[in-house]
């Protein structure tokens, strides 16, 4: 494939400076795009969370982790680096890098 005539990208998540507000990201790593809706599932590395950004949204919703709080309990993440949904989109898998584990969350 080839990019169109314009070499300019379009911001689809974040873009409001580095931070932990719902409209900000801090070192986004892995991104998974939901086929049905185009929603993005973003591993927000330094905020220790996974955020969902719907197509055209100006803010994200935290799905996993607690913003800016890392830890080893099953409700906390420590530098998530990638996300993936299974083919039925019933489970969200998160590579919880600094905890040396992969977590599975049930999507509701």
Domain of 70, CATH number, reads 2.40.10.500
What rounded mean pLDDT belongs to the chain? Answer: 94
Q: Is residue 12 part of a domain?
A: no
Instruction: Please tell me which residue, 108 or 62, carries the higher pLDDT value.
Output: 62
For residues 86-95, average pLDDT: 95
Of the ranges 3-12, 14-23, 30-39, which is most confident? 14-23
Q: Is residue 61 part of a domain?
A: yes
Burial classification of residue 49, based on how many CB atoms lie within 10 Å of its CB (0-12 exposed, 13-18 middle, 19 or more buried)? buried
For residues 80-99, average pLDDT: 96
Q: Is residue 33 part of a domain?
A: yes
The whole-angstrom separation of Cα 59 and Cα 102 is: 26
Give this prediction's pTM. 0.91
Q: Is residue 14 part of a domain?
A: no
For residues 16-37, average pLDDT: 95
pLDDT score, position 23: 98
Q: Is residue 43 part of a domain?
A: yes
pLDDT score, position 8: 82
CA distances from 35 to 16, 25, 29, 55, 87 (A): 26, 22, 19, 11, 10
> What percent of the chain has pLDDT above 90?
85
Residue 45 lies in domain: 29-106
């Amino acid at each position: 494939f080839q990019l169109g005539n314009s070499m300019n990208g379009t911001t689809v998540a974040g873009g409001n400076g580095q931070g932990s507000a719902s409209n900000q990201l801090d070192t986004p790593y892995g991104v998974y795009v939901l086929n049905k809706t185009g929603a993005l599932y973003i591993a927000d590395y330094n905020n220790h969370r996974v955020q969902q950004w719907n197509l055209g949204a100006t803010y994200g919703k935290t799905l996993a982790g607690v913003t800016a709080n890392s830890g080893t309990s099953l409700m906390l993440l420590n530098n998530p680096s990638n996300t993936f949904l299974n083919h039925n989109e019933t489970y969200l898998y998160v590579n919880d890098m600094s905890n040396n584990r992969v977590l599975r969350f049930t999507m509701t």
